Structure 1
Amino acid sequence: MLMATINSSIVIISLPAIFRGIHLNPLEAGNVSYLLWIIMGFLVVSAVLVVTLGRLGDIYGRVKMYNLGFAVFTAFSVLLSVDPFHGGAGAWWLILMRVGQGVGGAMLFANSTAILTDAFPSHQRGMALGINQVSAIAGSFLGLVIGGLLSEWHWRAVFWVSVPIGILGTVWGYRSLVELGERRPAKLDIPGNVTFGLGLTSLLVAITYGIQPYRDHATGWTNPWVLGGIILGVVLLSAFVVIEQRVEHPMVSIGLFKIRAFALANIAGLMAAIGRGGLQFMLIIWLQGIWLPLHGYSYESTPLWAGIYLLPLTIGFLVAGPVSGWLSDRYGARWFSTGGSLLVALSFVLLLVIPVNFAYWAFAAILLLSGVGSGLFSAPNTTAVMNSVPAHERGAASGIRGTVFNSGSSLSIGVFFSLMIVGLANVLPRTLTDGLTGQGVSHKVAAEIGNLPPVGSLFASFLGYNPIESLVGPTGELDRLPQSNADKLTGKEFFPHLMSGPFHHGLVIVFGAAALMMVVAAAASWWAGGKYVHDEPEPELSEAGAGEALGRE
Structure 2
Amino acid sequence: MEKNETTGNGPGTARKRIDYKWIVLSITTIEMFMVSVNGSITLISLPAIFNGINIDPLTSFQYLIWVLMGYSLVTATLLLSCGRLSDMYGRVKFYNIGFAIFTLGSILLFLTPDKGDAGALEIIAFRIVQAVGASFTFSNSAAILTDAFPADERGKALGLNTMAFLSGQFVGLILGGILAFYNWRYVFLVSVPVGILGTVWAYLKLKETPLPKRARKIDVWGNITFVGGLTIFLIGITYALLPYGKDPMGWGSPLVLASLVIGAILLVAFPVIESRVEDPMFRLGLFKIRVFSLANTAGFLSALARGGMMFLLIMLLQGIWLPLHGYSYESTPFWAGVFMLPLTAGFVIMGPLSGWLSDKYGSRWFATSGLLLIAVSFLMLASLPYNFDYPVFAIALLIMGLGNGMFGTPNIAAIMNSVPPEDRGVASGMRSMLQNSGMVISMALFFTIVIVSLTHLFPPELATSLTGAGAPDLIAPMSAIPPTGALFAAFLGYNPVHAILVTLPQSVVAAISPAAMTTLTGTSWFPTTLAHAFMPSLRISFYIGALLSLIAAVLSSLTGSRFVHDIHGKQGEKPGEVPVPIDDPGWDIIE
Give, as a single letter, the amino acid of the residue that structure 1 aligns with 2:296.
N
CA distance in 2: counterparts of 1:2 and 1:142, whole angstroms: 9
Residue 5 in structure 1 maps to residue 36 in structure 2: yes
CA distance in 2: counterparts of 1:466 and 1:144, whole angstroms: 21
CA distance in 1: counterparts of 2:167 and 2:309, whole angstroms: 14
Q: SS of 1:378's equivalent?
A: helix
Which residue of the partner structure matches residue 306 of structure 1?
336
Which residue of the partner structure matches residue 141 of structure 2?
112
CA contact (8 A) 1:11 1:39 kept: no
CA distance in 1: counterparts of 2:334 and 2:242, whole angstroms: 27
Tell me by how many angstroms 1:361 deviates.
1.5
Which residue of the partner structure matches residue 209 of structure 2?
180
- Note the alpha carbon deviations across 1:310-362, whole angstroms, 9 max, x for none: 11110110000011111111111111111101101110111122221122211
Which residue of the partner structure matches residue 201 of structure 1?
231
Which residue of the partner structure matches residue 288 of structure 2?
258
CA contact (8 A) 2:92 2:144 kept: yes
Gapped regions of structure 2 (runs ≥ 5)? 1-31, 579-585
Which residue of the partner structure matches residue 418 of structure 2?
388
Task: Give TM-score, length-normalised by structure 1.
Answer: 0.94
Give, as a single letter, the amino acid of the residue that structure 2 aligns with 1:244.
E
Tell me by how many angstroms 1:250 deviates.
1.2
Structure with higher Rg: it is 2
Which residue of the partner structure matches residue 335 of structure 1?
365
Quote the RMSD (CA, aligned, Å). 2.2
Which residue of the partner structure matches residue 69 of structure 1?
98
Residue 18 in structure 1 maps to residue 49 in structure 2: yes
Q: Which moved more, 1:236-245 or 1:155-164?
A: 236-245
CA distance in 2: counterparts of 1:252 and 1:415, whole angstroms: 26
From 514, 533, 537, give the equivalent of 1:502.
533
Tell me by how many angstroms 1:437 deviates.
3.0
CA distance in 1: counterparts of 2:252 and 2:177, whole angstroms: 36
Tell me by how many angstroms 1:452 deviates.
5.2
Q: Which moved more, 1:118-127 or 1:501-510?
A: 501-510
- Note the alpha carbon deviations across 1:29-57, whole angstroms, 9 max, x for none: xx432222122221111111111111111
From 559, 571, 589, give the equivalent of 1:528.
559
Tell me by how many angstroms 1:205 deviates.
2.0
CA contact (8 A) 2:62 2:242 kept: no
CA contact (8 A) 2:471 2:516 kept: no
Tell me by how many angstroms 1:549 deviates.
10
Which residue of the partner structure matches residue 275 of structure 1?
305
Tell me by how many angstroms 1:472 deviates.
4.2
Which residue of the partner structure matches residue 441 of structure 2?
411
CA contact (8 A) 1:195 1:237 kept: yes
Which residue of the partner structure matches residue 155 of structure 2?
126
Which residue of the partner structure matches residue 265 of structure 2?
235
Residue 40 in structure 1 maps to residue 40 in structure 2: no
Q: Which moved more, 1:291-300 or 1:521-530?
A: 521-530
Tell me by how many angstroms 1:149 deviates.
3.0
CA distance in 2: counterparts of 1:271 and 1:441, whole angstroms: 46
CA distance in 2: counterparts of 1:404 and 1:136, whole angstroms: 19
CA contact (8 A) 1:324 1:376 kept: yes
Q: SS of 2:218's equivalent?
A: coil
Tell me by how many angstroms 1:72 deviates.
0.9
CA contact (8 A) 1:26 1:35 kept: no
Give, as a single letter, the amino acid of the residue that structure 1 aligns with 2:237.
I
Give, as a single letter, the amino acid of the residue that structure 1 aligns with 2:494.
Y
CA contact (8 A) 2:58 2:486 kept: no
Residue 519 in structure 1 maps to residue 553 in structure 2: no
Q: SS of 1:124's equivalent?
A: helix
Give, as a single letter, the amino acid of the residue that structure 1 aligns with 2:181.
E
Tell me by how many angstroms 1:62 deviates.
0.8
Q: Which moved more, 1:132-141 or 1:205-214?
A: 132-141
Which residue of the partner structure matches residue 503 of structure 2?
474
Which residue of the partner structure matches residue 19 of structure 2?
none
Task: Give TM-score, length-normalised by structure 2.
Answer: 0.88
Which residue of the partner structure matches residue 400 of structure 1?
430
- Note the alpha carbon deviations across 1:62-90, whole angstroms, 9 max, x for none: 11111111111111111110111111111
CA contact (8 A) 1:118 1:181 kept: no
CA contact (8 A) 1:212 1:455 kept: no
Tell me by how many angstroms 1:142 deviates.
4.8
Aligned pair count reads: 547
Q: Which moved more, 1:228-237 or 1:416-425?
A: 416-425
